Structure 1
Amino acid sequence: MALSRSLLLPTALADLLVDAPNIQVDVVEGSYLELVELLRSGRIDVMVGALRDSPARDLHQQPLFADKLTIIGRADHPLAGGVAGFEQLADYPWIVARRASGLLERWQSMFDDAGKARPQAPIQCGSVALIRGMLVRSDFLTLLSPDQVAAEIHAGTLTCIRSVVPDTERLIGAITRRDWYPTALQEQFMAALRASTASLGS
């Protein structure tokens, strides 16, 4: 899933391939809903990404690290440098995650829990590359992990928008079938996943 594509999985695979250079790895990208049926059918072994608060009984979740979600906009956004209120946040369009995603639910609850109307969100998207491209060219806002746009924040093109809405956390981890019995190589991959969290500051 999205966060693991740019951070967790590349680190784990690089470490794994040092010890097992001749293996073949098939990385399948997609949303939770797209991947979970592939997992249940045995066509993929492990899902890596944001964990669910109430997973299905046939799935096992292994937390790896806590990821912070915050509001992101371009560095010279009109709300940059201040502390935005709900009304100010609603003055600008948003890019939000696709339907039936944990990230979309967290964005919705930001406003619902405060009894505020949700802002306009004309774009629903799961591609961080597209989101980054939209943010730097417009006044759009999004809810995202700063780690996913760390290069742009470091380069000064994007920034975290301070607001009255507190940052929220989500757990990132591995999801497997509860009846899954990993091979020795799969166990080695899971160990590489756990070890890679250290390089992410966990």
Structure 2
Amino acid sequence: MAGRWMEFGKYGAAGIPGWLAIARGLDELVTGVASPVTSKRGLNARLRYLTRSQAGYEAMARAGITATPRTIKNWVAGKQKPNNANRDKLDAAYWVLRRHNVVTDLKRRLNNNGAGTRVEIYPVDQTGVDEKRRRDISHRAINVRGAWDDMVDAWHKGPNDPSAAEMLDVIWDEVITDLGSDYDAYSYVTHIGFAA
């Protein structure tokens, strides 16, 4: 991570690491079933999605669902309902599989045939910083090209993988160097916006 924020927040600045803002932005691009898993419609949609492929069954197993194939078949048929713990695991498995299944599409959309994607960077919130310690940091916008495949791959590893966070941090540092000498002022941000 860039150097000027070695003691980030010491004087009252508020924000998050840029790499985390990118990961959250990618999370927002993953769409799926809007109905909650607690509703009949939401549960049924998740079950159909998960039982459509071997990858879905593998996602359920990784989520900790140990129900027999017969029980899962009864869930799909509506003859039996999963308990609350299994319902929550079904929801987790669904979103992990959705995340996995959108990787290729995200890369294509964000790379935009080599044109890249415009990224808007909102600097840290300095309202809690004494005026004499505030830095002159403004909203910036850059077009990111060539980094999306690596960013999406790191994001795909998931939020619980420390190597993913480290990789995203390195990539974010490379991206912000295009901002010139003031680049490390954007190591921490309040928000990063982009659409694909």
TM norm structure 1: 0.24
Which protein has the bigger strand share? 1
TM norm structure 2: 0.25
Which protein has the bigger helix share? 2
Q: For the pair shown, which has the larger CA radius of gyration, 1 or 2?
A: 2
